[in-house]
Amino acid sequence: MTDDQWQATIQSKLVGQMNVVKVGLDYIESGGSFTLISGILNIKPMPLAIADATTSGAIDTFVKCVAFELPRGIRINAVNPTVIEEAWGMYGEMMPGYQPVPGALVGKAFERSVDSFITGQVIFVDA
């Protein structure tokens, strides 16, 4: 990968979500929650996806660590899904051996993150 490709992935996938939390702290209510999204490639890597795998791992680690530092009872979790069925037509050819999951199942992971008491957790959605 070129330096520009690395930077684009890091800035959009990782730093972008970290900034949502940083800026959002000024607006979120006490006891509110953030849910970030990573992706399965840090657990199940595939060729030519090192930047996505690296940033997914960083997001998962960020969530686990920053949960202990958030003020006012604010929670944070990450949803780490495999490829979603609805996107299989676009990504399936690049992901041989992966089993897609329904988007509704990924939605349930977000619901669990927001509506439960957990914090600092990575919710894996994999087949």
Residue from 85, 17, 95 nearest 55 by CA: 17
The pLDDT score that the predictor gives to residue 110 is 98
Q: Are 59 and 69 in contact (CB under 8 A)?
A: no
Q: Are 51 and 11 in contact (CB under 8 A)?
A: no
Domain residues for 41? 3-21+29-125
Q: Place 1 in a pLDDT band, splitting at 50, 70 and 90.
A: confident
pLDDT at 99 over 90: yes
Q: Are 24 and 34 in contact (CB under 8 A)?
A: yes
Say how far apart CA 58 and CA 28 lie, in whole Å: 23
How many structural domains compose the chain?
A: 1
Residue from 35, 14, 24, 32 nearest 108 by CA: 35
Share of residues in the chain with pLDDT > 90 (%): 92
Helix (H, G, I), strand (E, B) or coil at 99: coil
Average pLDDT of 83-95?
A: 94
User: Which pTM was predicted?
Assistant: 0.94
> What CATH number is given to the structural domain containing 47?
3.40.50.720
Strands 33-37 and 121-125: unpaired
